[in-house]
């Protein structure tokens, strides 16, 4: 996604290194003023395989996110060893499971003194945030999950896994690279009419080899393929599941929704899109805004084509301030 070229200057970000028990050092990047968290929507993001927090950074700087960006704080979490130009993790380092990674996110929030967040995850990161929500529902005001899968290993995953070559830790094996490309851009590989697929895939390859440590990338992929089943039946947090109808994981997302708590979960399938964060950022921004308004957040941001209305005498910051009492996550008897 190259939309940042047409948007405003990047928001300055502050980097933090959080020491955790099961994930080692987690690199966290904060955009926005955390001292204003009571007057802002605070998003906690976790990225997909073969990327890092810059995939969300690009989305945040898309023109359609302008007003949301001005009234929000974004906490971007990199998976262990996925910060740009990271060294290889120590040989004796036990890479965390998606469950362990999710459970350690509360350590990040405690370190930053953040009370509540909207979880915003993509792919493997969506799975991580869902596990965090199940363990720590009182720290979330909602969840937005892109291409979140529930089954431990779909038929497709198992098939692709046969072609993995885990030998050689210094570079991404061709079969691993093929899996990552299919994982993120499978719809474009299958679409003969996609004019940009070669450019998109080449750009992904350049980032994969130029910015990320390949041996660390392998370990996150391995954790994803070794994930345990995920169920949203007992989810206590309002959740929006997002997928593209062209995504190779669309059926898996739909299956997760069918077995989820329908009182808390909504699904949105975007037409003519595979990886919705890249393909339809404006649509995702609109869906994010509508979801947040339903949680009492970003009330002063107008939906496209709708006039902004605020009570006389109320400042924009006061209008945006979350109604935490209304958003109480305590379980009713």
Q: Contact 55/84 with Cβ under 8 angstroms?
A: no
Does residue 315 belong to any structural domain of this protein? yes
Which of 94, 153, 99 lies closest to 128, judged by CA? 99
Question: Residue 181's pLDDT is what?
Answer: 79
Q: How much is the pTM?
A: 0.83
Cβ contacts of 85 within 8 Å, gap of 6 or more: 211, 213
Mean pLDDT throughout 22-30? 97
CA distance 177 to 58: 22
Residue of higher predicted confidence among 331 and 19: 19
CA distance 289 to 295: 10
Does residue 332 belong to any structural domain of this protein? no
Strand partners, 237: none
Does residue 264 belong to any structural domain of this protein? yes
Question: Residue 151's pLDDT is what?
Answer: 82
Does residue 296 belong to any structural domain of this protein? yes
Strand partners, 20: 24
Question: Residue 175's pLDDT is what?
Answer: 67
Residue of higher predicted confidence among 82 and 207: 82
Which of 284, 274, 225 lies closest to 250, judged by CA? 274
| pLDDT tens per residue, range 148-163 | 998 876 645 544 554 4
**To which H or E segment does residue 98 belong?**
helix 98-112
Does residue 13 belong to any structural domain of this protein? yes
Which of 127, 135, 143, 327 lies closest to 234, judged by CA? 135
| pLDDT tens per residue, range 74-125 | 999 999 999 999 999 999 999 999 999 999 999 999 999 999 999 999 999 9
Question: Residue 69's pLDDT is what?
Answer: 94
Question: Residue 163's pLDDT is what?
Answer: 42
Pairing mode, strands 140-146 and 24-31: unpaired
Does residue 119 belong to any structural domain of this protein? yes
How many other C-beta atoms are found inside a 10 Å radius of the C-beta of residue 231?
14
Confidence band (pLDDT; 50, 70, 90) for 208?
Answer: confident
Residue of higher predicted confidence among 145 and 214: 145
Q: What percent of the chain has pLDDT over 90?
A: 61
Pairing mode, strands 265-270 and 239-244: parallel
Does residue 191 belong to any structural domain of this protein? no
Q: Which of 76-80, 180-184, 217-221, 301-305 has the lowest mean pLDDT?
A: 301-305
CATH of residue 260's domain is 3.40.50.1820
Share the mean pLDDT of the chain: 83
Does residue 203 belong to any structural domain of this protein? no
Total domains present in the chain = 1
Mean pLDDT throughout 254-265? 94
Q: What is the per-residue DSSP string for 147-211?
A: S---SSS-HHHHHHHTT-----SSS--HHHHHHHHHHHHHHHHH-TT-TTHHHHHHHHHHHHHHT
Mean pLDDT throughout 171-199? 66
Angle at 240 between CA 60 and CA 35, to 5 degrees: 45
Question: Residue 247's pLDDT is what?
Answer: 87
Mean pLDDT throughout 292-319? 64
Strand partners, 43: 74, 118
Query: What tokens were used for 134?
Result: 């199940």
CA distance 121 to 43: 10
Question: Residue 312's pLDDT is what?
Answer: 39
Pairing mode, strands 72-77 and 117-122: unpaired
DSSP 3-state assignment of 52?
Answer: coil
Does residue 304 surpass a pLDDT of 80? no
Residue of higher predicted confidence among 226 and 239: 239
Question: Residue 220's pLDDT is what?
Answer: 94
Query: What tokens were used for 4?
Result: 């940042």
Dihedral sign computed on CA atoms, order 28, 32, 33, 37: negative
Measured CA distances, 202 to 50, 174, 177, 275, 328 (Å): 13, 14, 12, 16, 46
Q: How many helices (H) and strands (E) does the chain have?
A: 12, 8
Does residue 234 surpass a pLDDT of 60? yes
Question: Residue 11's pLDDT is what?
Answer: 72
| Domain ranges, residue 48 | 3-150+228-320
């Amino acid at each position: 996604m190259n939309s940042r070229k047409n948007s405003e200057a990047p928001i300055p970000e502050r980097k933090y290194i959080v020491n955790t028990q099961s994930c080692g050092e987690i690199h966290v990047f904060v955009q926005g003023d955390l001292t204003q968290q009571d007057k802002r929507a605070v998003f906690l993001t976790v990225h997909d395989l073969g990327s890092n927090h810059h995939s969300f950074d690009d989305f945040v700087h898309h023109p359609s996110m302008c007003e949301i960006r001005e009234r929000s704080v974004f906490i971007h979490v990199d998976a262990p060893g996925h910060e740009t130009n990271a060294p290889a993790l120590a040989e004796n380092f036990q890479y965390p499971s998606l469950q362990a990674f999710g459970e350690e996110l509360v350590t990040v929030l405690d370190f930053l003194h953040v009370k509540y967040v909207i979880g915003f995850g993509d792919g493997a990161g969506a799975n991580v945030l869902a596990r965090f929500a199940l363990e720590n529902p009182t720290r979330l005001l909602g969840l937005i999950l892109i291409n979140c899968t529930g089954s431990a290993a779909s038929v497709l995953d198992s098939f692709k896994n046969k072609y993995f070559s885990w030998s050689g830790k210094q570079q991404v094996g061709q079969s691993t690279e093929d899996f990552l490309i299919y994982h993120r851009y499978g719809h474009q590989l299958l679409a003969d009419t996609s004019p940009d697929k070669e450019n998109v895939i080449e750009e992904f390859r350049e980032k994969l080899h130029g910015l990320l440590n390949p041996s660390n990338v392998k370990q996150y992929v391995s954790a994803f393929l070794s994930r345990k089943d995920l169920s949203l039946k007992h989810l206590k947090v309002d959740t929006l599941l997002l997928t593209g109808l062209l995504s190779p994981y669309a059926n898996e997302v739909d299956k997760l929704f069918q077995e989820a708590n329908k009182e808390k979960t909504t699904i949105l399938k975007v037409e003519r899109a595979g990886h919705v964060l890249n393909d339809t950022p404006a649509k995702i921004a609109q869906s994010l805004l509508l979801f947040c308004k339903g949680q009492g957040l970003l009330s002063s941001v107008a939906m496209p084509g709708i006039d902004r209305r605020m009570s006389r005498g109320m400042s924009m910051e006061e209008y945006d301030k979350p109604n935490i009492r209304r958003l109480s996550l305590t379980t009713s008897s």
